[in-house]
Amino acid sequence: MQIELEHISDYNQTQLEGHQRKLSYWTQEVAKAEPVIQKLIEFQVAIPSWALGTGGTRFGRFPGGGEPRSLEEKIADVGLLHALNRASGAISLHIPWDIPTDPQAVKQLAAQNGLRFDAVNSNTFQDQADQALSYKFGSLQHTDAAVRQQAIDHNIDVIKHGVELGSDSLTVWLSDGSCFPGQLNFRKAFDRTLSSLAEIYAALPDDWKLFVEYKAFEPNFYSMTVGDWGSSFLFASKLGPKAYTLVDLGHHLPNANIEQIVAILLHQGKLGGFHFNDSKYGDDDLTVGSIRPYQLFLIFTELVDGMDARGMNHAKDLGWMIDASHNVKDPLEDLLQSVEAIQLAYAQALLVDREALEEAREANDPVRAQEILQDAFRTDVRPLVAEARRRAGGSLNPLGLYRTLDVRQQLIGERGAKTFATGL
């Protein structure tokens, strides 16, 4: 299945009149429209290779058909998304779930689809069939030096795969921790993890970044060795300038103020990137913006403000990625919704009158501060996002075109109704 340029232009033609009517409000009333559109065109969100099939819970999984059966088909799926929205120009691999056996060919295929390789992810939270030692009691924290070495070697191997693909960052998420009080010596676990991470850090190419992802709970439910932004920040600080904290929106204790965490990490030069998703209860991995769109907007407001304060490039200086799972939706449709939610929050954040906000803050005027933020949040920026997509060569309405072309049915025709993508 290929989405041709004519598909896009024919479909856009059917939508154009309505689109231009909505956009005219912006071009007539709002001076900021043009810079926002330009920034949106540049902004890309990476798609994880493990989110292209239907996910599930430990109670079951309900595959939807036409799922990608190989890395090549996963790249093709991300290519479809990118053809539709022109904002999903990167793919992130989880190894060994996806191992490029012929890296040059895979790199070429990605380039043909307009994609680059985002962060590579290691996996020491599961035992693989051919693995000598078990991670049941942790990996980089393990009491046995041989287990730690096995996990270190795996991470170095993942870096090598990433180098071959032209990636420039490694994300390490550890499930290490303990399930019961007394099980683990916290200080020893911290020291062992730090020295293991230092060995991985030493193997990073000069222009690479190491992202240390934290998570408060699951699969360990008493303690997680990299359990919060404080411990991730500590590891990243001790490791050195190439190490950063990665924020996954679902990895906090309930009601955490994520925007404040983001603001401080960014202020300290230690924010590396994001795993976007949404949640109501825990690490739910739901569609971005489906539960707490205001929180997402507040996070982006801090990002825009903090990145500008540090002279950072919004599109390039942080890792932007989705980390979601799709249990009842078509994964490709779900990912289109997630990317759009991110773009909307970003566009709204760009609209915030930051000068006026700062004045309100200095004057201790919370009413005015709230008005300023909510004025931006309640603005319908969908025409701006659509216009950015149109100018970049994408569809005015990616989801609409996806359904018009009946993409899923086509994929089922090509791949079969009972395919099973690797990943979560």
Question: Footprint of ligand PSV on this chain (CB under 6 A)?
Answer: 50, 121, 173, 213, 215, 248, 275, 283, 323, 424
Counting every residue, how long is the chain?
424
How far apart CA 378 and CA 419 sit, in angstroms, is: 41
Pick the closer one to Mn ion by CB: 283 or 305.
283
Residue whose entry in the numeric block shows the structure tokens 């994964």: 331
How many other C-beta atoms lie within 10 A of the C-beta of residue 102? 12
How many other C-beta atoms lie within 10 A of the C-beta of residue 25? 12
Residue 118's binding partner among Mn ion, ligand PSV, none (Cβ under 5 to 8 angstroms by kind) is: none
Tokens of 128: 């693989």
Residue 302's binding partner among ligand PSV, Mn ion, none (Cβ under 5 to 8 angstroms by kind) is: none
- Give the range of 187-195, 225-233, 282-290, 367-375 binding Mn ion by CB under 5 A: 282-290
Q: How far is the CB of 249 from Mn ion (least distance, A)?
A: 9
Q: How far is the CB of 3 from Mn ion (least distance, A)?
A: 28
* Strand 223-224 versus strand 271-276 pairing type: unpaired
Any contact of residue 283 with Mn ion (CB under 5 A)? yes
- Give the range of 21-29, 72-80, 271-279, 391-399 binding Mn ion by CB under 5 A: 271-279
Q: How far is the CB of 351 from ligand PSV (least distance, A)?
A: 30
Any contact of residue 252 with Mn ion (CB under 5 A)? no
Q: How far is the CB of 95 from Mn ion (least distance, A)?
A: 15
Question: Which H helix or E strand runs over 9?
Answer: helix 5-29
Pick the closer one to ligand PSV by CB: 51 or 304.
51
Residue 173: left if φ>0, alpha if ψ -120 to 50, beta else—which one? beta
Q: How far is the CB of 424 from ligand PSV (least distance, A)?
A: 5
Q: What's the Cα-to-Cα distance from 260 to each of 105, 136, 220, 312, rounded to whole Å?
A: 43, 34, 26, 19
Among 176, 248, 305, 340, binds Mn ion (CB under 5 A): 248
Q: How far is the CB of 275 from Mn ion (least distance, A)?
A: 4
Q: How far is the CB of 367 from ligand PSV (least distance, A)?
A: 38
Pick the closer one to ligand PSV by CB: 56 or 293.
56
* Interface with Mn ion: number of residues (CB under 5 A): 4
The answer to whether the beta carbons of residues 322 and 335 sit under 8 Å apart is: yes
Q: How far is the CB of 155 from ligand PSV (least distance, A)?
A: 13
How far apart CA 41 and CA 260 sit, in angstroms, is: 27
Any contact of residue 275 with Mn ion (CB under 5 A)? yes
Q: How far is the CB of 98 from ligand PSV (least distance, A)?
A: 12
How far apart CA 6 and CA 77 sit, in angstroms, is: 19
The answer to whether the beta carbons of residues 139 and 124 sit under 8 Å apart is: yes
Pick the closer one to ligand PSV by CB: 12 or 123.
123
Among 323, 330, 333, 340, binds Mn ion (CB under 5 A): 323
- With b for 16 or more beta-carbon neighbours within 10 A and e for fewer, the 30-43 pattern comes to eeebeebbebbbeb
**In terms of DSSP H, where are the helices of 240-289?**
258-267
* Strand 319-322 versus strand 177-178 pairing type: unpaired
Pick the closer one to ligand PSV by CB: 173 or 297.
173
Pick the closer one to ligand PSV by CB: 50 or 235.
50
* Cβ-based neighbours of 145, under 8 Å, separated by 6 or more: none
Residue 424's binding partner among Mn ion, ligand PSV, none (Cβ under 5 to 8 angstroms by kind) is: ligand PSV
Pick the closer one to Mn ion by CB: 23 or 321.
321
Residue 121's binding partner among Mn ion, ligand PSV, none (Cβ under 5 to 8 angstroms by kind) is: ligand PSV
Pick the closer one to ligand PSV by CB: 121 or 348.
121
Pick the closer one to ligand PSV by CB: 225 or 301.
225
How many other C-beta atoms lie within 10 A of the C-beta of residue 414? 12
CA torsion 382-384-389-392 (nearest 10°) is 180
How far apart CA 35 and CA 207 sit, in angstroms, is: 30
Residues in touch with Mn ion (CB under 5 A): 248, 275, 283, 323
